[in-house]
Structure 1
Amino acid sequence: MTSPAPPVVDLAELELVYPVEPPVTAVRSCDLTVRGGEYVAVVGASGSGKSSLLNVIGLLDRPTSGRYRLDGIDTTGLSDAERTELRARRVGFVFQSFHLLPYRTAAENVMLGLMYGGVPRRRRAALAARALERVGMGHRLHAEPTTLSGGERQRVAIARALAVRPSLLLCDEPTGNLDSATARTVLDLIAELHGEGVTVVVITHDASVAAGAGRVVRMRDGVLTEDRTARMPAT
């Protein structure tokens, strides 16, 4: 019998409280384990807390209490600089709005991600080309985002996220700005990358996006509950 893959994301009794008046508890006593090679969807309505959870998993926000281990590293006591470095090396982000620089080529946008990931300058061009080839954009290396379709721009964003070979691909409503046909191609690409062993967490309110995941968890009023049994990858 093979043992399950080690956790990439491991949250224990995690809470996030925004210090406004009165305080707002966005994430309540959350326990979540995402193992290497899993594809997990976090679903919930607007205001449910799923975006706040994404910010914690992506090391953009610090939890108020509880523990978060990323790849076995306890992030609780890390400095801001250490968190930034860990995020750049281990988390790839894909956002609804692409976040590409409009007057930089596809390759240059990916190379910027590699720069923030600490990759030496001499290696960036080759790694960017390889990442774009991986997502079917090898023929558009020198195209600027303003000349690309929405689906092509999202593919460039995915290439940028994958170029540093992160432990986790974290997708925030990755098809929110795409028509249904283009959204399908992007979801097929994410599924293909997962099939190659990439660990994926998708934050979404869309049931059709969540349907491709091997495991679904639901957020409501800051509380996380399991929707269905995970299909754990083995090592």
Structure 2
Amino acid sequence: MPRGRWRRTRTPVAVGGADAPVIRLSGLGRTFPGTVEVHALRPVELEVERGEFLAVVGPSGSGKSTFLNLLGLLDRPTSGTYELGGIDVAGLGERQRTAVRGHRIGFVFQSFQLLPYRTATENVELAQLYVGRDAASRRDRAVEALGRVGLDHRLDALPPTLSGGERQRVAIARALVNRPQLLLCDEPTGNLDSHTSEIIMELFDELHRSGQTIVIITHDPTVAARAQRTLVMRDGVLGTGAEAGA
């Protein structure tokens, strides 16, 4: 390699089974050590099929964020296994986990997390930097994703000039641009008024009808009501209302 030049190496992405559930958890748990151990997530058994829309509800401190971080490969479990599309991701090395996360998981957050000095298109393009696409391809995909969420007329707008709903739609486009198997949403309507929340949930309904697998973490029962299935998180236990002690 010539002196002074860096070459980006691409980490191979593991391949799973085409018919496997998008999520299969077996005894997955997370404990934080200390003088008194904190069982943030008690062992979970769960399958989420392709195209399913799942909501997880629960009060603050119930373990929802721990659960989301494990599903999104932002943290590692202390027990059990996690298969994402047939791949045992709990056992992967850090570089492979990063590659799988970039290709197979899209994230939507409450706070949007957009760069204010980058246009809507550029914000969506940035999500593709670590999946090996050239600049022209990145822009084409970004424009396509923004069109999918109804923002093809706001391609060059900066986030401060967008409404809250438009900023969340940019964030959703960014999450979708790599065509992930799994869309993880953390309180996606938490910063929006009720009218705008309804518009965003209608967009999630459309994505679900198109076959997108969606998991939403929320405290809002009206958001959870849009899902096919709702599970309750309480004191680190995930299950139906009765199983979680609700």
User: In the alignment, is residue 204 of structure 1 matched against residue 218 of structure 2?
Assistant: yes
State the partner residue of 2:21: 7
Q: What is the RMSD computed on CA atoms of the aligned residues?
A: 1.2
Contact 1:13–1:67 (8 Å) recurs in 2? yes
- The unaligned stretches of length 5 or more in structure 1 are 229-235
Runs of 4+, deviation exceeding 6 Å: none
Q: Distance in 2 between matches of 1:149 and 1:173?
A: 18
Which amino acid counterpart does residue 159 of structure 2 have in structure 1? P
State the partner residue of 2:10: none
State the partner residue of 2:125: 111
The SS at the match of 1:76 is helix
User: In the alignment, is residue 140 of structure 1 matched against residue 144 of structure 2?
Assistant: no
Once the two structures are superposed, what CA deviation does each residue of 1:70-99 show, in whole Å capped at 9, x if it has no partner? Answer: 010001221111111100100000000000
Which amino acid counterpart does residue 94 of structure 1 have in structure 2? V
Q: What percentage of residue pairs aligned between the two structures are identical? A: 58
The SS at the match of 1:15 is strand
Q: Distance in 2 between matches of 1:84 and 1:69?
A: 15
Q: Give the one of 213, 217, 233 matched to 2:227.
A: 213
Which amino acid counterpart does residue 58 of structure 2 have in structure 1? G
Once the two structures are superposed, what CA deviation does each residue of 1:128-150 show, in whole Å capped at 9, x if it has no partner? Answer: 00000000001000000000000
Once the two structures are superposed, what CA deviation does each residue of 1:129-187 show, in whole Å capped at 9, x if it has no partner? Answer: 00000000010000000000000000000000000000001000000000110011001
Q: Distance in 2 between matches of 1:31 and 1:59?
A: 17
State the partner residue of 2:181: 167
TM-score between both structures, scaled by the size of structure 2: 0.89
Within a 5 Å distance, the mapping from 1:19-38 to structure 2 comes to 19-38=33-52
State the partner residue of 2:83: 69
Contact 1:44–1:219 (8 Å) recurs in 2? yes
Within a 5 Å distance, the mapping from 1:186-201 to structure 2 comes to 186-201=200-215
Contact 1:215–1:227 (8 Å) recurs in 2? no
TM-score between both structures, scaled by the size of structure 1: 0.93
Q: Give the one of 54, 58, 68 matched to 1:40.
A: 54
Which amino acid counterpart does residue 137 of structure 1 have in structure 2? L
Deviation of 1:34 (Å) = 0.5
Q: Distance in 2 between matches of 1:225 and 1:213?
A: 15
- Count of paired positions: 224
Which amino acid counterpart does residue 205 of structure 2 have in structure 1? A
Which amino acid counterpart does residue 201 of structure 1 have in structure 2? V
The SS at the match of 2:202 is helix
Q: Distance in 1 between matches of 2:118 and 2:222?
A: 33
User: In the alignment, is residue 225 of structure 1 matched against residue 233 of structure 2?
Assistant: no
- The unaligned stretches of length 5 or more in structure 2 are 1-18
The SS at the match of 1:197 is coil
